[in-house]
Structure 1
Amino acid sequence: MVRYADPGAVEWVESGGGPLIAIPEVVLPFWAGADGDELSSDYDRACEVDGHVGLLPVGDTRALVLGDEPASTAYLPEHGTFVRWCAADSEAALLDRIPQALEAAEWEPEMHWDVPGAVVLFDAAWPGNASERTDHLRVALEPGRYTVRVAYVEPGPEVWVGLVQVRRAGD
């Protein structure tokens, strides 16, 4: 994980250029990443997600793909939101604008994600079993149905942020 400040307010996950993916821990062994002998790898499937987010089958559940661009991403549990760093001079400048960004967000249509428990966010190119050897972040979600919504916001001068909010359905 990357830290942009000392000691760093949050932990950030980066990719080598492709999408990040949040996979339920229970199905990590089923994600092969860019490995495999097939014509289309799991990584290829993740790269085919059209738009900012998408859901892909993995084992008997689905994973959340954070597509569009390989932005550094953190999870802010107090907001139930993955924050994608598009532009800001510093981590502090970006994080200071998150409340304004959430308030100003014009959300894209929601999708539903059934989650069996905690998920791990990492570069989709890595196999699930190797996710601990790269940038990764464990996000403790309770089992259940979640609503996922996305927005890209410019909450201040030279601050652009992607928001992927994950909320319990019915909250």
Structure 2
Amino acid sequence: MARFADRGVLEWVESGGGPLIAVPEVVLPFWAGADSEELDTDYDRACEVSGYAGLLPVGDSAALVLGDEPAATSYLPEHTAFVRWSAADSERDLLAGVPAALKTAVWEQELRWQVPGPVVLFDSAWPGGEADRQEHLRVPLTAGSYAVRAAYAQPGAETWVGLVQLSRLA
């Protein structure tokens, strides 16, 4: 996990136990997290997403919820993928298994995500307006439509990785 003394080279985002969410920067103020007067908060909506990934409306856009388990997550631009650290002895072992995991993964049904530009990955319990004050990762996506596919894979005996890969659509 990202708590190891040797964190490696990537920035990892963790949650307090709930799902992580990638919210487009332009609609961050519309994500209330768990701080809401409504009976069902944005955080509650994120927790209801089934599967490894799902989309939720936020403002006039949509956020990508990374569901299932609250694994430490980073973004690998060379694979256009969020990588979720489920099990590995080191960051190096985890990253070495990513190419094999991408080839052997059994993917869930693909989603279509319209992205207005860069997104911010953070714990879905936090309000979007406070994302910069919490553990977060800015992902500089280009505006456009993306195919999103998600899976978990075991590229090695001691390595399990979650994948949420984005493919830009023409």
- TM-score normalised by length of structure 1: 0.95
- Asked if the contact 2:97–2:156 (Cα under 8 Å) also holds between the matched residues in 1, the reply is yes
Is 1:63 the counterpart of 2:76? The answer is no
Judge conservation of contact 1:107–1:151 (CA < 8 Å) in 2: yes
Once the two structures are TM-superposed, the CA of residue 11 in structure 1 deviates from its matched residue by 0.7
How far 1:9 sits from its partner (Å)? 1.7
Q: Secondary structure at the match of 2:78?
A: coil
Q: Which residue of 1 aligns with 2:160?
A: 160
Q: 1:104: how far off? A: 1.3
- The amino acid that maps onto 2:152 is Y
1:99: which partner in 2?
99
Deviation at 1:47, TM superposition (A): 0.5
- Describe the SS at the equivalent of 2:79: coil
RMSD, aligned CA: 1.3
1:3 Cα offset (Å):
7.1
Residue 169 of structure 1, CA deviation: 1.3
Partner AA of 1:79 in structure 2: H
Percent of pairs with identical residues: 67
Does structure 2 retain, via aligned residues, the 8 Å contact 1:3–1:10?
Answer: no
Gaps of 5+ in 1: none
Distance 1:36 1:152 in 2: 32
The answer to whether structure 1 residue 37 and structure 2 residue 24 are counterparts is no
Asked whether the equivalents of residues 7 and 91 of structure 2 are also in contact (C-alpha less than 8 Å), the reply is no
Structure 1 stretches of at least 4 aligned residues deviating more than 6 Å after TM superposition: none
CA distance in 2, matches of 1:17, 1:49: 14
For structure 2, the 5+ residue unaligned runs are none
- Distance in 1, matches of 2:63 and 2:3, equals 25
The offset of 1:8, in angstroms, is 2.0
SS in 2 for 1:55: strand
Q: Partners of 2:134 and 2:154 in 1: how far apart? A: 30
Q: Deviations over 1:5-54 (max 9, x none)?
A: 65722110000000000000000000000001111111011011111111
What secondary structure sits across from 2:27 in the alignment? Answer: helix
- Contact map agreement 2:33 2:127 (CA 8 A) in 1: yes
User: What is the deviation of 1:120?
Assistant: 0.1
How many residues end up aligned between the 2 structures?
169
